[in-house]
Structure 1
Amino acid sequence: MTANALPPVVDAATWERRLEALRAREKAATRELDAVAAERRRLPMVEMPEYVLEGEHGPVRLADVFEGKRQLIVYSHMWTDGKEWQCPGCTGFTSQFTRLGFLDDYDARFVVVTQGPIDEALAYKRRVGNQMTWYSTAKSPFGTDVGAPPDGGFAVNVFLRDGDCVYRTWHTDGRGTEQLSHTFGLIDLLPYGRQEQWQDSPEGWPQSPTYSRWATSQDTARLYGAEADGTTA
């Protein structure tokens, strides 16, 4: 950051005009997102085979992961066997979701699925203080079939249940998952934004390598995990 890394100072009337022009673009983007969501509601779907995942209390059919709800959001958390600390992006991303009861009113549930063995996955969940419900697909092709194979990336999938039949209705990965996050939404409001080199920022703005400001998995554990509240994992 340089000493001159500040927005220009203008009078209130000029600021209001510039803000109003930006707000018009923001509102247009909101309407476009509404249109995208409307199209998402009109997507066809594909029927899924019967899968059995591993939960905290043993094997669970995919249809039963819904726990009676009709809709299910699944975050596929990256996993590398033998690593003490798993993907920092997935660890930090899923740490945001601590109160999911509001989904009950929408007949929906949101869970984590990972390729890690269930005992290791649950131990990691406790160590980093994750509040979501976790399942393992280590003994099932489910992860591979929904775009999150062993040693692969992360993904978000949405499913609809009709009785015991489960249908896949939506999928995204990469930056497509940002729409679920409140962290980037808050950071993007700041004058300096994410401060990453790929972003279009004014000359002299603070910028660092991509991901360098992201919390590590150890950071997440220190903030929210077992050690943070004095318990043991």
Structure 2
Amino acid sequence: MNQHNVSALPPVVDQQTWQTALDDLRTREKAATRELDAIAAQRRRLPMVELPDYTLIGPDGPTRLVDVFDGRSQLIVYNHMWSDGAEWQCGGCTSLTSQWTRLGILDNYDARFVIVTNGPIEEALAYKAKVGNEMDWYSSSESSFGADVGAPPGAGFAVNVFLRDGDTVYRTWHTTGRGTEQLSYTFALVDILPWGRQEQWQDSPEGWPKSPTYSKWLDSPDVARLYGPNPDSQ
């Protein structure tokens, strides 16, 4: 457990002063909520682009992208960074995907969530088990799917959303970088803490604990140790 100087504390005030400061912050929080609602409304009005009939590789072999929907109309794909043959894959991707464990809620929204990586399916499934992921994984190693949706081999990660109309699949939304933070509960939890993320780039009061960016994130071995099938052996 990290120990910090006791000077890294907010000022102590009376109840009314605290409530006034909280009310002032709440005004901004509510404005941000309304802005997020407006952004979501704009997202629902985005146009879409028709996709080719891609074939991915699943646990049971080649699978058409339209069949990855498993009968649902909507599909969220996390494109996981991948380095063929590596013992540990991207720590950020591994840490982020470890949060998504109860995806059955999407059934009520006619939607499904899967991981797609450019790596060989055998390696992908072994890694899925190693780090304790529970969602379904697919490989785009034998198609241009990853490159075409902003996650080419040897490059970055992405989130893509698709809509199915019969046997035709459309791409409706995409994000990468810090845009994926909205899908993470860990940042939301840490951001309400008095010290926040404690990363060097953040605007914090003088004396607040600071650490190099990413240094407090779980790395891939940490995820396997905490959530993998044999945590004691990691």
Give TM-score, length-normalised by structure 1.
Answer: 0.97
Pick from 12, 31, 43 the counterpart of residue 40 of structure 1: 43
Match of 2:66 in 1: 63
Shift of 1:229: 7.4
Tell me how far apart the structure 1 counterparts of residues 64 and 84 of structure 2 sit (CA, whole Å).
Answer: 24
1:2 aligns with 2:15: no
> Which of 143, 148, 154 is equivalent to 1:145?
148
1:130 maps to 2:142 = no
Match of 2:220 in 1: 217
Corresponding residue number in structure 1 for 2:116: 113
Q: Which amino acid aligns with 2:223?
A: T
Does the alignment pair 1:14 with 2:17? yes
Does 2:172 align with 1:169?
yes
- Give the 3-state SS of the residue equivalent to 1:178 in structure 2: helix
Shift of 1:98: 0.6
Work out whether residues 88 and 221 of structure 2, in 8 Å CA contact, stay in contact via their aligned partners in 1.
yes
Question: How many Å separate the matches in 2 of 1:97 and 1:23?
Answer: 29
Give the aligned partner of residue 191 of structure 2: 188
The Cα shift of 1:207 comes to: 0.5
CA contact (8 A) 2:160 2:171 kept: yes
Instruction: Confirm whether residue 156 of structure 1 aligns to residue 166 of structure 2.
Output: no
What is the alpha-carbon distance in structure 2 between the residues aligned to residue 75 and residue 127 of structure 1?
A: 18
SS, match of residue 124 in structure 2 = helix
Give, in whole Å, the separation in 2 of the partners of 1:96 and 1:182.
7
Q: In the alignment, which of 90, 93, 99 is matched to residue 93 of structure 2?
A: 90
1:30 equivalent to 2:33? Answer yes
Match of 2:77 in 1: 74
Question: TM-score normalized by structure 2?
Answer: 0.97
Task: List gaps (5 residues or longer) in structure 2.
Answer: none
Q: Is the 8 A contact 2:159 2:175 kept in 1?
A: yes
Counterpart of 1:103, as a letter, is L
- CA deviation after TM superposition for structure 1 residue 228, in Å: 2.0
Counterpart residue type for residue 59 of structure 2: E
Please identify runs of 4+ aligned residues in structure 1 that moved more than 3 A: none
Deviation per CA, 1:57-103, whole angstroms, max 9, x where unpaired? 11100000000000000000000112100000000100001110010
Aligned-pair CA distance for 1:2: 2.9
Distance 2:232 2:187 in 1: 26
Q: Counterpart of 1:10 in 2: which secondary structure? A: coil
The answer (yes or no) to whether the contact 2:85–2:123 under 8 Å persists in 1 is no
The alpha carbon displacement at 1:3 in A equals: 2.9
Distance 1:10 1:136 in 2: 56
8 Å CA contact 2:76–2:113 kept in 1: the answer is: yes
Write the distance in 2 (CA, Å) between the matches of 1:111 and 1:162: 19
| Percentage of identical aligned residues | 71
